[in-house]
């Protein structure tokens, strides 16, 4: 996985060996992590299993789950194809993880490059973030975004429903995470204990019913 070993020299043709963990950032401004408080913008690292098990759980009532965890895969197809992955979480005082993605991971889209982006998010975006996603997609026709969500956030609110419809109209694919998607996140974005074989994903009891519940709701809204 390209981003995980940071001591490796980067592709020599970049001429920027100090920038190995940010292959896709080489043509953008070089962000040093420490310039980015209060976010932990960590590319190619994994979130603790305890966060995953709590935050991504697709329960109907998500009390206490007031942070958004966003795992991303960015494929850029330009002169060379680059894939990067990582995760963001939001801190209450700062921007939400969705905003942080556009502000820090993808601050600008180059028109000559195609971006295929997939997010695996613990819950669907709030109205403000949904509007930002819609604007970004309208502005950048070379950007494809698929958002896989564990839960729907405040989906009963008419304002929220309208914001989700606008995202869809702007070309965003919005999907509810199936059990297999949770498993994918577990294998690719969650810390595994050192030296162990990757622990197998153990689905929680109501994972399939909750997926179906949210899938029906989303279908009704969209």
Q: What is the mean pLDDT of the chain?
A: 77
Which of 25-29, 99-103, 212-216 has the least mean pLDDT? 25-29
Give the pTM: 0.74
Q: Which residue has the higher pLDDT, 137 or 37?
A: 137
Residue 27 has pLDDT above 90, yes or no: no
Q: Which residue has the higher pLDDT, 83 or 31?
A: 83
Number of DSSP helices (H) and strands (E) in the chain, helices first: 6, 6
Among 22, 24, 25, 98, the one annotated catalytic: 98
Q: Which residue has the higher pLDDT, 38 or 70?
A: 70
4 is catalytic: no
- The whole-number pLDDT of residue 100 equals 87
- The whole-number pLDDT of residue 21 equals 43
> To which H or E segment does residue 201 belong?
none
As a whole-number percent, the residues of the chain with pLDDT over 70 amount to 67
Give the separation between CA 68 and CA 147, rounded to whole angstroms: 13
Domains of the chain: 41-56+66-191+203-221 (3.40.140.10)
> To which H or E segment does residue 113 belong?
none
Give the separation between CA 72 and CA 86, rounded to whole angstroms: 6
Which of 1-10, 99-108, 163-172, 184-193 has the least mean pLDDT? 1-10
Handedness of CA 134, 140, 145, 149 (dihedral sign): negative
The answer to whether the beta carbons of residues 210 and 58 sit under 8 Å apart is yes
- The whole-number pLDDT of residue 133 equals 96
Which phi-psi region, left, alpha or beta, contains residue 65 (left: φ > 0; alpha: ψ -120 to 50)?
beta
Residue 1 has pLDDT above 50, yes or no: no
Handedness of CA 155, 160, 164, 165 (dihedral sign): positive
Beta sheet of 81-89, edge-to-edge order = 42-43, 81-89, 69-77, 114-123, 143-151, 173-176
Residue 45 is encoded by which pair of tokens?
Answer: 């690292």
Angle at 24 between CA 133 and CA 130, to 5 degrees: 5
Instruction: Report which of 185, 132, 176, 178 is spatially closest to residue 155, judged by C-alpha positions.
Output: 176
Give the separation between CA 21 and CA 33, rounded to whole angstroms: 11
Give the separation between CA 57 and CA 31, rounded to whole angstroms: 32
- Which residue has 């997010």 as its token pair? 119
Give phi and psi for 53, each to the nearest 5.
Answer: -65, -30
Give the separation between CA 123 and CA 29, rounded to whole angstroms: 30
Residue 60 has pLDDT above 70, yes or no: no
Q: Tell me the average pLDDT across 60-78.
A: 75
* pLDDT tens per residue, range 139-184: 999 999 999 999 998 999 999 999 999 999 999 999 999 999 999 9
- The whole-number pLDDT of residue 56 equals 63
Give the separation between CA 151 and CA 109, rounded to whole angstroms: 28
């Amino acid at each position: 996985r390209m981003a995980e070993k940071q001591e490796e020299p980067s592709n020599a043709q970049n001429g920027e060996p100090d920038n190995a963990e940010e292959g896709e950032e080489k043509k953008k401004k070089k962000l040093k992590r420490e310039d980015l408080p209060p976010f932990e913008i960590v590319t190619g690292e994994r979130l603790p299993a305890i966060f995953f098990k709590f935050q991504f759980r697709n329960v109907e009532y998500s009390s206490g789950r007031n942070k958004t965890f966003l795992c991303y895969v960015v494929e850029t197809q330009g002169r060379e194809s680059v894939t990067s992955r990582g995760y963001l979480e939001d801190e209450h005082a700062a921007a939400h993880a969705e905003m942080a993605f556009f502000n820090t991971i993808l601050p600008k889209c180059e028109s000559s490059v195609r971006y295929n982006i997939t997010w695996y998010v613990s819950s669907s975006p709030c109205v403000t973030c949904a509007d930002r996603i819609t604007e970004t997609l309208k502005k950048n026709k070379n950007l494809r975004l698929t958002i896989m969500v564990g839960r729907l956030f405040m989906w009963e609110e008419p304002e929220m429903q309208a914001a989700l419809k606008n995202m869809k109209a702007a070309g965003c694919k919005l999907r509810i995470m199936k059990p297999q998607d949770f498993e994918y996140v577990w294998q690719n974005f969650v810390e595994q204990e050192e030296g162990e074989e990757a622990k197998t994903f153990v689905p929680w009891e109501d994972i399939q019913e909750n997926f179906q519940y949210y899938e029906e709701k989303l279908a009704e809204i969209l």
